[in-house]
Amino acid sequence: MRTLDREYLATHPEGDEKANFKLTVNVPSSLDVKDNPDGTRPSITVDVTAETYLVAISLLSEMHGKADELMIGWLGEQLTEEEHKILEQLTEESEPVPFLKEAVEKIHEPFLTFTTGVEAVLIVDGKEVTKDVDVTITAPSVSSGVSAFEHLTSPRMLMSVAVSFSPEEEDDEFGYGSANEILVRS
C-alpha cells in the first residue's frame, strides 16, 4: 500500500540533501523531431530542485496555470535584440508580428533549455519562511515545453508524484496489504 504522508514529504530528503527529480513526457508525434536511436520518442523534461518534496510539489502547483508568464519569459530568451526593440514600439493597434509565432513554434536541435523558478513565503510551524523551487525545462520548442509543463504540473500528475515519493507501507493496520490503495496522512 502507498501512503500520501505530508509530514514525510515536508521533511525529506533529510539533512542538506535537496529534493531533486525529473518529470518527463514524450515529444508529441505531431512535432517533426527525430526519434532516438532505439526508435523511441525523445522526451520533454522538467528538472525540479527544492528543499523538500513538499516545497517542490506545492510551488509547482502554484506555477501550474501560469503558461502565459512562462511563455513570455522563455520567448524573451529566444528573440534577438532587434526583435525586442520592435516589440517595445508596438501599441495595442499594431499588427501582429510574425516573428513571435515563428519563435514560439520553431523546432530546435539540440532542444532548448529554459531555467526559471518561483519563490514563496510559507507558514511553517507558525513562522513565515521563504522557500523556492528551481525548474529547468528542456524541449524542442517553446510551445511544446510550455504545454508539457502545464500537463506535468496538473493536480493529478502532482498527486501521483507526491504518492511516488511517500513511503510504502507493507504491514498496515487496515488490512489492505499490498492492495492498490493510498493511505493519506497529514
Give the mean pLDDT of the chain. Answer: 88
Q: What is the pLDDT of residue 182?
A: 53
Domain ranges of the chain: 2-185
Q: Which three cell numbers stand for residue 12?
A: 525529506
pTM assigned to the model: 0.85
3-state secondary structure the chain: CEEEEHHHHHHCCCCCCCEEEEEEEECCCCCCCCCCCCCCCCEEEEEEEECCHHHHHHHHHHHCCCHHHHHHHHHHHHCCHHHHHHHHCCCCCCCCCHHHHHHHHCCCCCCEEEEEEEEEEEEECCEEEEEEEEEEEEECCHHHHHHHHHHHCCHHHHHHHHHHHCCECCCCCCCCCCCCCEEEEC
What sign for the dihedral angle of Cα 161, 166, 168, 174?
A: negative
pLDDT digits (tens, 9 = 90+) for 10-36: 888 887 889 999 999 999 999 999 999
Copy the grid coordinates of residue 78. 529566444
